[in-house]
Amino acid sequence: MADTVHWVGTGLSTGGGVRVLADTTDVVLYGRTRDKAAACVDRLGLTGRVTPRALDELEPGRGDVVVSMLPATEHVRLLKLSLANGSHYANTSYVSDEIAGYADAARDAGVVLLTEAGLDPGIDHLLAHDLVARAEVEGPATATFTSYCGGIPAVPNEFRYRFSWAPRGVLTALLSPARYIEGGVETVAERPWEATAGHVLRGERFEAYPNRDSLPFVQQYHLPSQWRLERFVRGTLRLDGWLQAWEPVFAELRDPDPDRITALATDLAARYPTTETDRDRVVLAVALTVRGDDGTEWSGEHVLDVVGDDNDSAMARLVSTPLAAGITDILAGALEPGLHRAAESVDTARRWLEILARQGIGAR
């Protein structure tokens, strides 16, 4: 593969996926300054294998891939640059309406626009496609689907959490209503934390709450129209005891004041940071149960449980490696021009899962 990958961003989600790409293609990594980029390259152990540059030096060529690991507010700017240069584009974020608006332009330009190709969204999509394809129930049925993911401390603390990304974003995410299906009925939780429930995985108790809008994923995961959904929810996983530990935070969020939230986020991040000596842990659990009207039943669950190490945080590894799988597909010509949300077929999902498995990332 002769084309170049332009990886933009040196933050906490830039990890082992860069190493995967550097084994097969030219990679240039961009920071706000060349020194920041060089420091990130050194942290990844890729000095001499990956070229560091400043962001203002970004000039992608036709057929190259531009990877935006910047905040979501910067995605469109890099996408416009990619389209102008005939370069493909990839990120790990959810598809915004603004990004979706460039789908036709990307297709017409012969450009692949890859999104939702990280951990959550990303790996969760792969596991969901695999389970739906495995379900051995034909005809009308009742189905229950859950997908929960959380970044948590490997060693629990009294707050049951450590901040590893923008602290204000952690708090404001809790202010967005969650839409999902519960008891066969479309449900909206205006305060998602108030819908928190216990969730047991392999004998360990967690707490889980719904987030964002789960309903579009019924179609995205190709659930058969004959399945009646008793429950369909995508959400966030937290350590047992999180709900109680965060009660003072929720008291502020019930009557949110923007300035107070900013101050609270700054204070909490200072009190409960993820330091260089801390190890983070990521747990992702995707489960599907289908009960056919004819009495047949099928149930399956994938659980991914990873702790960070000296090379990468768990979050950086699990966000960047599936993205590398998607970029490999782009460079190999395996994705048609236009908008893609991670893997959109079971065959592609399983191919990506095989790539992850070769990197030591496998769900049980």
Catalytic residue numbers?
Answer: 120
Three-state DSSP class for residue 211: coil
Say how far apart CA 267 and CA 167 lie, in whole Å. 9
Residue type, 215: L
Element containing residue 30 per DSSP (H, E): strand 26-31
- What burial class does residue 158 get, using C-beta atoms within 10 Å of its C-beta: 0-12 exposed, 13-18 middle, 19+ buried? exposed
Alpha helix ranges (H) inside the chain: 16-22, 34-43, 75-85, 97-100, 103-108, 123-134, 167-173, 216-220, 242-245, 247-253, 258-271, 314-331, 346-358
Element containing residue 88 per DSSP (H, E): strand 88-91
Cis amide prior to 337 (ω within 30 degrees)? no
- What burial class does residue 323 get, using C-beta atoms within 10 Å of its C-beta: 0-12 exposed, 13-18 middle, 19+ buried? buried
Phi and psi torsions of 217, nearest 5°: -80, -10
Phi and psi torsions of 319, nearest 5°: -85, -45
Calculate the dihedral angle through the C-alpha atoms of 90, 93, 97, 99, rounding to the nearest 10 degrees. Answer: -20
Q: Tell me if 145 sits within 8 A of 232, measured CB to CB.
A: yes
3-state secondary structure 252-269: HHCCCCHHHHHHHHHHHH
Tokens of 314: 């768990």
List Cβ neighbours of 205 (8 Å cut-off, separation of 6 or more). 198, 199, 240
Say how far apart CA 129 and CA 332 lie, in whole Å. 22
| CA distances, 87 to each of 13, 62, 333 (Å) | 22, 5, 13
